[in-house]
Chains A and B, each alone.
Chain A
Amino acid sequence: DTEVTQTPKHLVMGMTNKKSLKCEQHMGHRAMYWYKQKAKKPPELMFVYSYEKLSINESVPSRFSPECPNSSLLNLHLHALQPEDSALYLCASSQEPQGEDEQFFGPGTRLTVL
């Protein structure tokens, strides 16, 4: 299996909802990432899980909360989001931490916050 999978593909939620995005890879990769991509912009790194250690982009609001249940799964818990959080959320994985290794991206979750 050489794919990163993400569910759901689309998500519409209100500002008071709690939802979760899921990401899975079975390539034995040791690093997984969450990116946010707005229209016509490049992906922006939110979180990195590398060797089971979380690294956080400090500019990411606390209403986004990552969770790594095991080395193949990465979740992103969403709570009290704002309309400006509407974006494509991409998960990625790499064999080694991202600095010098190809990242494989999932298809993304298109999130709309009403």
Chain B
Amino acid sequence: GENVEQHPSTLSVQEGDSAVIKCTYSDSASNYFPWYKQELGKRPQLIIDIRSNVGEKKDQRIAVTLNKTAKHFSLHITETQPEDSAVYFCAASFSDNYGQNFVFGPGTRLSVLP
């Protein structure tokens, strides 16, 4: 089945700096890659996603890049703010006996220091 790795597991940056989180996946058939943000005690929320027919997508301070050949994708957050502090999960779609699903990476705990 699909395996998603995510690095780093923890990341601390100064407010205003950029943060980059990288994920790799194993199933070359994967074609949908969402990123979820989960604040402490809250539900996961989609912050950006990308499909395999696109190499890059940007939404204000957040961008995602995808390299299908190398099977990796990255989240970029610019001008970080304290409210960006959270756990970030990447995910990749795959097909198994249960149909089309996706599997989450292990998560990155981002701390933005004021």
Could you say which residues of chain A place their CB within 8 Å of the CB of B42? 107
Contacting residues of chain A (83-114) with chain B, CB-CB under 8 angstroms? 90, 97-108
What range describes how many residues of A lie at the interface? 20 to 34
Tell which of B51, B95, B105 touches A42, judged by Cβ atoms closer than 8 Å.
Answer: B105
Of all chain A residues, the one with the shortest Cβ separation from B32 is A100
The answer to whether B43 touches A100 (Cβ under 8 A) is no
Task: Say which size band chain B's interface belongs to.
Answer: 20 to 34
Q: Is the CB of B99 within 8 A of A48?
A: yes
A43→B91 CA distance, assembly (Å): 11
Task: Please name all residues of chain B whose beta carbon is closer than 8 Å to the beta carbon of A106 when the two chains form the complex.
Answer: 43
Task: Assess whether B98 is in contact with A100, with CB atoms less than 8 Å apart.
Answer: no
Known: A100-B31, A100-B51. A43 touches B98 (CB 8 A): no
A56 at the interface (CB under 8 A from B): yes
Interface string of A12-51 (1 = CB under 8 A from B): 0000000000000000000000000000111101001010
Per-position binary interface string of chain B over residues 65-101, scored 1 when its CB falls under 8 Å from any chain A CB and 0 otherwise: 0000000000000000000000001000111011111
> Given known contacts A102-B34, A102-B49, is B99 in contact with A97 (CB within 8 Å)?
yes
